[in-house]
Structure 1
Amino acid sequence: MEINENAALVVVDVQKGFESEFWGRRDNPEAERNIAALIDVWQETGRPVVFVRHDSKQAGSPLEPGTEGNRFKDFVEERRGKGSGPELFVTKSVNSAFYGEPDLDAWLKAAGVEQFVVVGIQTNMCNETTARMGGNLGYDVLFPIDAMHTFDLAGPFGWTRSAEELTRATAVSLHGGRFARVVSTEDVLKGAGAA
C-alpha cells in the first residue's frame, strides 16, 4: 500500500467523554494503541495531522464544551504540537469533520493533500461520515478499521446491533461502496515507511 508523502492523518474525537458509561459496551480495546502508533509515525515523517474535537450542543452530553469529557484523551493531548509537519485543530458539532471550523477541505486542498487516513471514535458515526464525505469530495480515503472503536447501539423497531456488527457494517458499506479503502493499521504503517 502506498501512502502519499503528504497524506493527512485525521484523528476524530478521541475524547475523554467516550470513556463514560453513558455509551455502553465498546469494541476494539486495541484502538488507542493503534491510533497512537499512527500519530507517532505521521509526526516522525512530517506528514500533516488533523485533530478533530466534537463540541456537543446537547446539555449534559459527555462531550459538552467546558467539561472534562470534552478534552482529548491524554495520549492524544500529549502528542499535539509535537510533529515536524503541519497540524490543524478542528472543532465540530455534527458528525462530519468537513462541517467543522476551520474548513478542513479548504486546508487539505491548500496543502495539496489528496489522500487522508481516518482514525478515532466512533467507527460508524463521525469516522464513517467523515470518510463518506471525503470520498464524495474526491479524496483517496484510508480507513484502518482497527484504529477506531464504537459502541453497541439500539435502533428502530427494537433492533439492536453490537459494536462488532456495526463495525463490520461500516467496513462493508465504505469499502463496497468505494467511499474508502478499509485497511489495517499495520498496512498503513508499512505504507507510511514505519520501521
Structure 2
Amino acid sequence: MQPPATNAALLIIDMQQGMNQPKLGRRNNPDAEVQMERLLGAWRQSGRPVVHIRHISRAPGSVFWPGQPGCEFQPALQPLAHEHVVEKNVPDAFAASGLERWLHARSIRQLVIVGVITNNSVEATARSGGNLGFEVTVVADACYTFDQSDLSGRLWPAEDMHALSLSNLAMDYARVCEADKILVYCERNSHARG
C-alpha cells in the first residue's frame, strides 16, 4: 500500500445515529468506531481533508428519514466546521452528489474509506471510486455490517458479509488494510515534517 498523500481524503460513510438502531440487527467489528476515531484524529492532526457522508433516505420507514435523530452524525464523529459534508440518497456517495467534482477541484487522487455498511454504501462508494480512477483504500477494521438474509432466506453472519464484501473490493476496486497500517504511515509522515 502507498502511504496516504498529504491531501488523501478520509471518507467517513453514514456514521449517523440511525446505525445504532436495534432493528438493524447484530453487527460485526464492535471496535470499528474506535478505529474510525483514531483515523479521524490522525487526519485532523495532519491537516488532510475529511469528507463526512450522510445518507438521507427517501423511504419513510428508514432510520435515515429526514427530520429524525437517526439522520444526525454520531457525536464522536461530528464534522468540524471546515470539513466537507456530502448528502446522498443512494448507497453510492458519488451518485448525483458532487463528490467527484469536489475531489478533482482539490487534486485529490487518494481516498481512504471507513464507515457503514461494508457490503452496501462502503462497497458501492469504493467500487465507484476505483472505477473513476481514484486510488481507494478501504480500512477493514474501521467498517462494519449486519447479519443479512439472502434471497432463499438463509441468514449470513455479519462477519461473512464483511469478509466477502472486502474480498470483492480487493479484486479490482480498492486496497484493503487495517487502521494500524495507515496510522503508521501518517505518524512517519508527521515526524518527517516535524
Q: What residue is the counterpart of 1:36 in the other structure?
A: 37
Residue 106 (structure 1) aligned to one of 101, 106, 110? 101
- Tell me the CA shift for residue 87 of structure 1: 2.4
- Tell me the CA shift for residue 158 of structure 1: 1.9
Q: What residue is the counterpart of 2:140 in the other structure?
A: 145
Q: Does 1:178 align with 2:172?
A: yes
The code of the aligned residue for 2:172 comes to R
Counterpart contact for 1:25–1:163, Cα < 8 Å: yes
Q: What residue is the counterpart of 2:86 in the other structure?
A: 90
CA distance in 2, matches of 1:19, 1:32: 12
Q: What residue is the counterpart of 1:81 in the other structure?
A: 80
Which blocks of at least 5 consecutive residues in structure 1 are unaligned?
none
- Tell me the CA shift for residue 190 of structure 1: 1.1
The percent of aligned pairs where both chains have the same amino acid is: 37
Structure 1 SS opposite 2:12: strand
CA distance in 2, matches of 1:91, 1:188: 26
Structure 1 segment 119-158 matched on structure 2, within 5 A: 119-158=114-153
Counterpart contact for 1:90–1:100, Cα < 8 Å: no
Structure 2 SS opposite 1:131: helix
Counterpart contact for 1:117–1:141, Cα < 8 Å: yes
Q: Say which is worse superposed, 92-101 or 118-127, in terms of deviation.
A: 92-101
Q: Output the aligned Cα RMSD.
A: 1.3
- Tell me the CA shift for residue 193 of structure 1: 2.4
- Tell me the CA shift for residue 100 of structure 1: 4.7
CA distance in 2, matches of 1:8, 1:100: 19
Q: Does 1:190 align with 2:184?
A: yes
Structure 1 segment 62-73 matched on structure 2, within 5 A: 62-73=63-74
The code of the aligned residue for 1:110 comes to A
- Tell me the CA shift for residue 60 of structure 1: 2.2
Aligned length: 188
Deviations 1:60-90 (A, max 9, x none): 211111100111111012xx226xxx62100
- Tell me the CA shift for residue 130 of structure 1: 0.3
CA distance in 1, matches of 2:96, 2:49: 17
Give every structure 1 segment of 4 or more consecutive aligned residues whose post-TM-superposition deviation is greater than 4 Å. none
Structure 1 SS opposite 2:141: coil
The code of the aligned residue for 1:189 comes to L
What TM-score do you get using the length of structure 2 for normalisation?
Answer: 0.93
Deviations 1:112-136 (A, max 9, x none): 0110100011111100100000000
Q: What residue is the counterpart of 1:23 in the other structure?
A: 24
Deviations 1:117-167 (A, max 9, x none): 000111111001000000000011001110011100012012321100011
Q: What residue is the counterpart of 2:110 in the other structure?
A: 115
